[in-house]
Amino acid sequence: MSTTTGVKKDCLWIVLFLIVFINGFEAGGYQASLWSVGKNYDLSVTSMGLFAAMELFATMLAPILLGRWADSVEKARSISLMLAIQFIAAMTILFTSADRLFLVCIFFLGLTTSALQFIAIAALADAYPVSGGKKIAYMTSMYATGALVAPLVVDWYLRSGFGWRTLFGLLAAGSAVSLAGIISSGSKPREYRAAQNAEQDGEGRFVLSAILMLSVIMCIYVGFENGFTFFVDTLFTDVLRASTGKLALSLFWAVMIPSRILVGHFSGHARKILIASILLIPATMLLLSAVSDPFVVLLLCIPLGFASGAIYPSVLTIMLPYAGKNTATATGIITAATGIGGVVFTAMTGFLADRFGLQTAMLVLVSFFAISLLSAIRVFRLRRT
């Protein structure tokens, strides 16, 4: 049983969904722009990987630095501060051409988008303790939606003669709208769980070992995802000699949307879905690395994106019973792991691609999913005890 606060015109979940959508738009937009950024600054593939890794390094630091702080202050206030910094960083990139200043601002964009991601998830879980599990899965589909739309938008405005910095003007506008929304909505609870249900769910208990195992899974998954998405356009352009790289990137993100919605709908089967996804990703990549037909590679992005999309909401759904009242801390630990994976694997992809080719580099990435499988099995055993 549950009760609601009776809040009229509850818009908090809409604002939080918008924030995550913008985060996805930033991720997909930067991934689609990396080739253009590399041409602008005359970068090698290795250097492009380092430019991408700068943002991902910041995503690793954000939850380490801000996780406990976000649990100790009102989440609306912390979200507002992050949105303000995000706006300033995006506007600075829009009007600067210095490569070092670009990297500094990319760092702050990574810092704020990472913080907004885990704080928004924590705010949703705190405000909607009854329906939070499903809402979080649906929220992650908004990230995929933003990442899907972004490459298409980037491709459109580049073809229309606008520069790659247009992306950051759009991000600044989105940050401003989100800031206005969160200020007007606040982050107070919208639902309350009945006392006996809260006790049964183990509210207040924080199981660090489970959170760490889930973090390993997310570290490897996000590392692979970034290694693939940052370089899939380069794969099509430089290796497959095709102009459909941005379409492949959008297709990869597109199939994540129904995948994450389905995880929300079948949240009770999150463990089985997680195992199936961990197995399907390397199986698909084995096929992708063995073919050179651009159309076949494009088609393989469908099962690859579908399996990838299921991992994040499954991990978050499995995480909730282990987080207790420390939702921002738990989500922050997992988000820090995603940043570590993003930095290490993205940089490694660029390094290996220069020496052995992109397809081989991506194949190396998925070999780490064996560790993810072992980590998932360990978490499930903890749950039985």
Q: How many domains does the chain have?
A: 1
At 353, which CATH number? 1.20.1250.20
Query: In this structure, is residue 157 part of a structural domain?
Result: yes
Query: In this structure, is residue 312 part of a structural domain?
Result: yes
pTM across the whole model: 0.72
Closest of 57, 94, 270 to residue 172, by C-alpha: 94
> How high is the pLDDT of residue 132?
67
> How high is the pLDDT of residue 2?
44
Query: In this structure, is residue 255 part of a structural domain?
Result: yes
Query: In this structure, is residue 26 part of a structural domain?
Result: yes
**Helices (DSSP H) in 43-131: which residue ranges?**
45-72, 75-94, 99-127
Closest of 110, 100, 115, 2 to residue 65, by C-alpha: 115
Angle between helices 327-356 and 294-323 (to 10 degrees): 150
CB 25 within 8 A of CB 171: yes
Measured CA distances, 193 to 121, 127, 196 (Å): 18, 11, 8
Query: In this structure, is residue 330 part of a structural domain?
Result: yes
> DSSP string covering 276-319, please?
HHHHHHHHHHHHHTT---HHHHHHHHHHHHHHHHHHHHHHHHHH
Q: Cα–Cα distance between 261 and 135 in angstroms, integer? A: 9
Helix or strand (DSSP H, E) at 192? strand 191-193
> How high is the pLDDT of residue 17?
93
**Torsion of the alpha carbons at 368, 234, 116 and 68, rounded to the nearest 10:** 30
Measured CA distances, 7 to 77, 91, 261, 287 (Å): 19, 35, 26, 51
- Encode the chain (385 residues) as per-residue pLDDT tens digits: 444 444 456 788 899 999 999 998 998 888 788 878 888 888 777 777 777 778 878 877 887 788 778 777 788 899 999 999 999 999 999 888 777 888 899 999 989 998 898 899 888 888 887 776 678 878 878 888 888 888 889 989 988 989 888 999 999 999 999 999 999 887 777 776 655 454 444 455 788 899 999 999 999 999 888 888 878 888 888 888 888 888 888 899 889 889 988 888 887 898 999 999 999 999 999 998 888 898 999 999 999 999 999 998 899 889 888 887 777 788 888 888 887 887 788 788 888 888 888 888 888 888 999 999 999 999 888 754 4
DSSP 8-state symbol, 237: I
3-state secondary structure of 44: coil
> How high is the pLDDT of residue 181?
92
> How high is the pLDDT of residue 48?
76
- Token pair, residue 49, equals 């990987």
CB 226 within 8 A of CB 341: yes
Give the residue carrying structure tokens 């759009």. 170
Give helix then strand counts, H and E, for the chain.
Answer: 16, 2
Query: In this structure, is residue 2 part of a structural domain?
Result: no
CB 222 within 8 A of CB 117: no
Range of the domain at 318: 7-190+199-384
